[in-house]
């Protein structure tokens, strides 16, 4: 038996596919063939994410390949996966989560962080990111920054920084670490959650399959319940806010003795990404639903003009 594993074709996506293929071989004794599926998000490289209409830029075509039975399972970066699951498909396993932290990379000698200024960038620095969430949190800390769109896969983004198209860039630490990229000569700083909160599910891998496929029950053996509880809380908050990847929401859930601790930040950014305000909240509750709703209510009270009733 050989399972057909669908994935995007970027270096990071292929790393993730090989990682999951190895887990399936080691733990289940089943081989996988890797099938590359092109997605709309991969094909459109000259438009910032928040200016692209719709959802599922990096997942829709993979899900269609599943439904058309061209592949048996697909691997996603969970942060890219919309909260609405298409009919006939199921999220069957969340096998692991790498660091959810953000990574700030900058030209040599650029970063000089202090307790009052945790980013430590020069006045008027050009920061590259296409994430409204990252832009909102960065501008709330440093209103004088100039934020410009940054697209491309992870190695391309790092190359653009080296080519001095930006003074600094923000990206997920997990992707850089998974690829083992050479960051020699750059200023690097991993940002703690107290400084910047990640996207819901950032750093986690997700395996999706057809709900009626017997393989879906087999793949469930790869599921990590502890990781899943945390990312489900984050994704439930995202769902309550009615948002997708355009929503400037950062959140991170961690296990506590009395349940889950969920920290969240929601930004309000203008269309030109030149100003932002954020509300930062936190809650501890015994269940995924309770902690997500507690954070939702706190955000609604903090930002009544942004979060609906």
By the 10 Å C-beta count (0-12 exposed, 13-18 middle, 19+ buried), 39 is classed as buried
- The catalytically annotated residue of 26, 42, 68, 80 is 80
Identify whether 80 is a catalytic site residue. yes
CA nearest to 60, candidates 15, 17, 6: 6
Phi, psi of 17 (to 5 degrees): -65, -45
Positions of E strands within 149-204? 168-172, 187-191
Q: What are the structure tokens assigned to 142, written together?
A: 């440093």
Alpha-helical runs (H) found in the chain: 11-28, 40-43, 60-67, 132-141, 154-162, 173-179, 214-219, 225-240, 288-302
Q: What are the structure tokens assigned to 287, written together?
A: 């269940």
CA nearest to 232, candidates 287, 296, 286, 164: 287
User: Which contacts of 63-68 are long-range, i.e. CB under 8 A and separated by 24 or more positions?
Assistant: 63/89, 63/208, 65/6, 65/35, 65/37, 66/6, 66/208, 66/209, 66/210, 67/210
Rg for the chain, CA atoms, rounded: 19
Active site residues: 80
């Amino acid at each position: 038996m050989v399972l057909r594993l669908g994935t995007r074709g970027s270096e990071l996506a292929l790393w993730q596919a090989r990682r999951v293929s190895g887990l399936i071989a080691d733990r289940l004794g089943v081989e996988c063939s890797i099938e590359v599926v092109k997605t709309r998000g991969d094909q459109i490289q000259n438009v910032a994410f928040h200016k692209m209409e719709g959802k599922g830029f990096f997942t829709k075509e993979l899900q269609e390949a599943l439904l058309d039975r061209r592949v048996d399972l697909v691997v996603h970066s969970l942060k890219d996966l919309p909260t609405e699951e298409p009919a006939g498909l199921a999220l069957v396993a969340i096998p692991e989560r790498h660091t959810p932290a953000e990574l700030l990379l900058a030209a040599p000698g650029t970063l000089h962080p202090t307790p009052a200024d945790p980013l430590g960038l020069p006045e008027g620095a050009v920061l590259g990111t296409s994430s409204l969430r990252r832009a909102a949190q960065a501008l709330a800390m440093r209103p004088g920054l100039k934020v410009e769109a940054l697209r491309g896969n992870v190695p391309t983004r790092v190359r653009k920084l080296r080519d001095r198209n930006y003074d600094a860039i923000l990206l997920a630490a997990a992707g850089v670490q998974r690829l083992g990229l050479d960051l020699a000569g750059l200023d690097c700083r991993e940002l703690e959650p107290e400084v910047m909160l990640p996207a819901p599910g950032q750093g986690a891998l997700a395996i999706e399959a057809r709900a009626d496929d017997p393989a879906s029950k087999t793949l469930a053996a790869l599921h990590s319940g502890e990781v899943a509880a945390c990312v489900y809380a984050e994704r439930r908050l995202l769902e309550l806010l009615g948002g997708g990847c355009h929503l400037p929401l950062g959140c991170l859930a961690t296990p506590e003795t009395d349940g889950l601790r969920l920290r969240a930040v929601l930004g309000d950014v203008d269309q030109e990404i030149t100003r932002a305000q954020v509300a930062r909240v936190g809650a501890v509750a015994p269940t995924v639903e309770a902690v997500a709703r507690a954070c939702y209510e706190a955000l609604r009270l903090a930002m009544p003009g942004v979060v609906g009733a």
